[in-house]
Amino acid sequence: MPQTAVITGAAKGIGQVLAKAFLQADFNVLMTDADDQALAGARDELAHYNRVQTQVLDVRNKNDFEQALNVAQEHFGAAQVLINNAAITPTTPVLEITPEEFSQVLDINLRGCFLGCQVFGAYFAQQNQGRIINMASLAGQMGGTASGAHYASSKAGIITLTKIFARQFAGQGVTVNAVAPGPVLVDSITEKVPPEKLAEIIDTMIPVKQMSDPRLIADMALLLASDQAATVTGATWDANGGIFMR
């Protein structure tokens, strides 16, 4: 019987790539996002897989996670994987970040991850099986260069939350891990950065001279979601082209 993955922020970018990869790996997928129109468009692109459902979800609301869990159970019988991917990525200079903007980023990126881990972690623990995969970032490890201070802080917090929830559920068949991408070649990058500037960034900032393919990030998540990864928990897997080594 196919397992079911619930993915937040699945309407575009890495989230949509994750959804497609898990569908191709014979998972059922519940795609969630706060943007209902973008979510509908993403659903249409993947509808031919016949194992995909969508649910509008605001990660700031615990009830929305509980509703998503209910939808997964109603449509697919159960859920085995949660990917906390939803995030916003403003690049406001640190001295220009308002208190309101700081709180908004932390609420979506960090609180959203916390609530997802709470709701699905408790459910997985009851089932004695489950995989939680949190999308962290190179910015959370290095303090961020191109990203905003609030974004970098939220991603650093996700790495710590990953360890906390991993420890909480380690004896109940539930693993909690994070993936920390560096520069990834997604539409949001190519649409915002001129080609010549992007080439300069790749040549001068990334030791391996290339950005990560988003499918690599999805493949890392698939491996962490597998039965074989039962002994991996509390970890953060890097894909940053050698920008940050540890």
DSSP state string for 80-138: -EEEE---------GGG--HHHHHHHHIIIIIHHHHHHHHHHHHHHHHT-EEEEEE--T
Q: Which amino acid is at 96?
A: E
- Beta strand 28-33 pairing with 52-56: parallel
For 199, list phi and psi in degrees, rounded to 5: -60, -40
Residue 181, Cβ density class (10 Å: 0-12 exposed, 13-18 middle, ≥19 buried)? buried
Secondary structure of residue 135 in the 3-state scheme: strand
DSSP conformation class of 244: S
The residue type found at 137 is S
Rounded to an integer, what distance in angstroms lies between the CA atom of residue 214 and that of residue 57?
23
As given in the structure block, the two tokens for residue 19 are 């959804």
Active site residues: 151
Intra-chain end-to-end CA distance of the chain, in Å: 39
Angle, helix 13-24 to helix 36-46, in steps of 10 degrees: 30
